[in-house]
Amino acid sequence: MTLVKTNNRFAFPSLIDEFLKPDWMGGMERFNVNVPAVNIKETDTTFVVELAAPGKKKEDFNIELDDNVLTISSEASTENEEKDKEGKYTRKEFSYSSFKRSFTLPEIVNEYDINATYENGVLHIALPKREEALPKPKRMIEIG
């Protein structure tokens, strides 16, 4: 009985598999398509959405609110070239990454006071609650 299953039928990988690996010729070790992790916190007065996106700038984000749906998106592309003396390409790499996250907001969110900040690789979006949704202070009722 084995605890680990493998998909390899042969003991040695084929030559074609070696050429098709993403790390061939010094590229990336593996291709990962990542969607940034999100934390959502609730306090008495607000909801806070924290999106982990290190290495980005605040200009890289688009935040939209449409029909009580908050959408956070980003697109980025990079291109690196290495040329020899004659101007021929010896190596050219480019990458493109994007993500889009959408959240349906509860009715108690005050959509006119939403604000966002980006610091230390984390996008913070504060979603304040409406006045009528805030907790009421405790009061004493006298017995008549």
Specify the pLDDT at position 76: 83
Rounded average pLDDT over 70-92 = 80
Rounded average pLDDT over 75-96 = 77
- For residue 95, the SS3 value is strand
Q: Cα–Cα distance between 23 and 52 in angstroms, integer?
A: 26
- For residue 133, the SS3 value is helix
- Burial label, 94 (beta-carbon count in 10 A; 0-12, 13-18, 19+): exposed
40 backbone φψ class: left, alpha, beta (φ>0; ψ -120 to 50): beta
- For residue 16, the SS3 value is helix
Categorize the per-residue pLDDT at 12 as very low, low, confident or very high, splitting at 50, 70 and 90. low
pLDDT over 80 at 44, yes or no: yes
Q: 26 vs 93, which has greater pLDDT? A: 93
Hey, how many other C-beta atoms are within 10 angstroms of the C-beta on 49? Answer: 21
Specify the pLDDT at position 118: 95
pLDDT over 60 at 14, yes or no: no
What is the overall mean pLDDT for the chain? 79
- Closest to 46 measured CA to CA, from 101, 138, 116: 116
